[in-house]
Structure 1
């Protein structure tokens, strides 16, 4: 399911979709849409980095969620930063694996940590309803 719209035209864009690997591109589109619509936030200059962060968060959600389950994403203006959030139904905390030069994957969260100039983290949702992983870009 795709539901891309401003939640509040002044500061938030949201998207819901199903957890399939081929759907991750939708989150990059969400960031681009937010950047175009909210140039006043200073997002134009953050488009590439924002799409990279959101893509990595969404990829992790798809990889760790049950295929076909709903996933949600948001781009929000919060406290002088642009926040990228992804919700998935898994309760497992995100893990940054040990660096392995031979590995073909597993660098996404490490990259998000380096790019997120306003911090990053996660929070569990009460009532066993998954988690939200977030990263911020300072404006």
Structure 2
């Protein structure tokens, strides 16, 4: 049985405001200021096929909000691991070859903390 991952905190360690939009409920969004932390409970959505792209959480970052990072829990790849993955792109595409697993403790569900940092002008995600 698959396990759900809940974000309990999001640390925005960047000089930009981070806006998160919940793909399954677009009226649910939050903004986290530069060098600030959000605490709460937010389930990361499952995606298992391209028709479910709309479910992904969208993180909007950077000057003039030019960067979007899509976060989701992969139902199939790898099977039974419940991996949290992301894609940096203008739109979500489950079939993209650029999708990566979030670094850190990103598997097997449960309560997690997401850390967003800016390193060498690249946004990096880490899950603890």
- TM-score for the superposition, normalised by structure 1: 0.31
Bigger radius of gyration among the two = 1
Greater fraction of residues in helix = 1
- TM-score for the superposition, normalised by structure 2: 0.32
